[in-house]
Structure 1
């Protein structure tokens, strides 16, 4: 599943611009008073101003062999969100390893190296190593209903999980992470999952506003 662009919402454009441009060293590709956008490999990460916002979860694919390099690079810039004593989390059933951190709005961000993609790199890790946006979280009270709405736009397989608590849908290139916010909290911080809003463009084009999916052209 290709994710060309994700738009998240923020009530502090300047703070997010500082974080992504100067801390993560992402290339700024659009800059206005109420919207900014950054190059994220084959994807674009955008932020649109909105007064009332809730934190979200988003992940970036990185080269399959660069998780240790990504950790060293991130540790010079942000505080890593551990799972117990583990700074690198090994998802054995996904054949992937991941690192988590907050951005300036306390969105839970993730760098994930998926072995099954076989996308290796010979150069030292940097912001230019980010391959694409690979996950967007959707917190809901009805996973099956959200899945059915996405599947009605375009057929999408269940990657892992079920409709009761947690369900990842899509593939290694791109996933919707659907969670039942009454039964599960965000990993790895175990904090409350809010129904946060976003707009996605790519293989799927829709807005998720007020807990509802609306297809866009």
Structure 2
């Protein structure tokens, strides 16, 4: 699973753009009067101007090469103030086999640089161009179990196939995760609590998760059941149309030919079901 693009909202758009592009040196991919997009390895990160008086903030993580954590820390310390937890400015996650550090951007987002042992190594000095991808993105909601179930049906499992929890869940695979969390939970290495704000998360350049201002999600593309039902019923409709057409053309004619076309129509109906199952199986294998 790849978090291919994330769209977030900000009340400090100009300062946030200057932070990422000028201070940290991210490549600017696109810009309008009320938004900008930067490159983060295989991912893209977009910031959109918020039209409300709230102050949207999120947590997300950038994957960095497994051998460059120390270099990344020196790079970050020269540009930002690192967040601390119990006096420490870095942490080792045994369950992830990874080292992380944290800092905040002008929009008060909690940004994490994480070096997983499973990530590739890269030689040379560290810069923002060394970032591999967006590997974690928060989704805050007051209905964690319901949203979590939706994500699971969308092909996004809980990490290590654990059961859903009411407060906090890592969901995803292949070192890319959605952090599904309840509101007002303190973020690690921060004095800020999780808040519900809208966002758009694109996975594998084909699935889209839209989070609204109430923390509800809308799922587009991907493995939704409606996709396979549509394939089946469209093929079935074509089969039935063919059946009546052939029955009309050959009605009263040669009975053998009529039987052949009726049998053919039945075969096509069965094939429509098999085709829908095939699409489901292919998408299921890809999601694994």
State the TM-score, normalizing by the size of structure 2. Answer: 0.71
Contact kept? 1:37, 1:46, Cα under 8 Å: yes
Higher normalized helix content (fraction of residues): 2
Matched, 1:206 2:204: no
Shift of 1:152: 2.1
For 1:155 and 1:175, locate their aligned partners in 2 and report how far apart those are by CA, in whole Å. 9
Q: How does 1:1-217 map to 2 (within 5 A)?
A: 1-52=1-52, 53-117=55-119, 119-159=120-160, 162-182=164-184, 184-203=185-204, 204-210=207-213, 211-216=215-220
Please name the residue that 2:224 is paired with. Answer: none
From the CA coordinates, give the structure whose radius of gyration is larger: 2
Check the 8 A contact 2:156/2:171 in 1, yes or no. no
CA shift at 1:82, angstroms?
1.2
Structure 1 alignment gaps of length 5 or more: none
* Cα distance change on mapping 1:161 and 1:55 into 2, 3 Å: farther
Q: Which runs of 4+ in 1 moved over 3 A?
A: 159-162
Residues 136, 176 of structure 1: 8 Å contact kept: yes
Structure 1-normalised TM-score? Answer: 0.93
The CA RMSD over aligned residues, in Å, is 1.7
Shift of the 161–20 alpha-carbon distance from structure 1 to 2, 3 Å rule, reads farther
Q: 1:161 to 1:107 in 2, by over 3 A?
A: farther
Consecutive unaligned residues in structure 2, runs of 5 or more: 222-288
Residues matched between the structures, number: 215
**C-alpha distance after superposition, 1:51-109 (max 9, x if no partner):** 23421101100001111111100011111001122111111111011010001100000
Following superposition, the deviation at residue 142 of structure 1 comes to 2.5
Higher fraction of strand: 1
Q: What is the DSSP-based 3-state SS (H/G/I as helix, E as strand, rest coil) of the residue aligned with 2:37?
A: strand
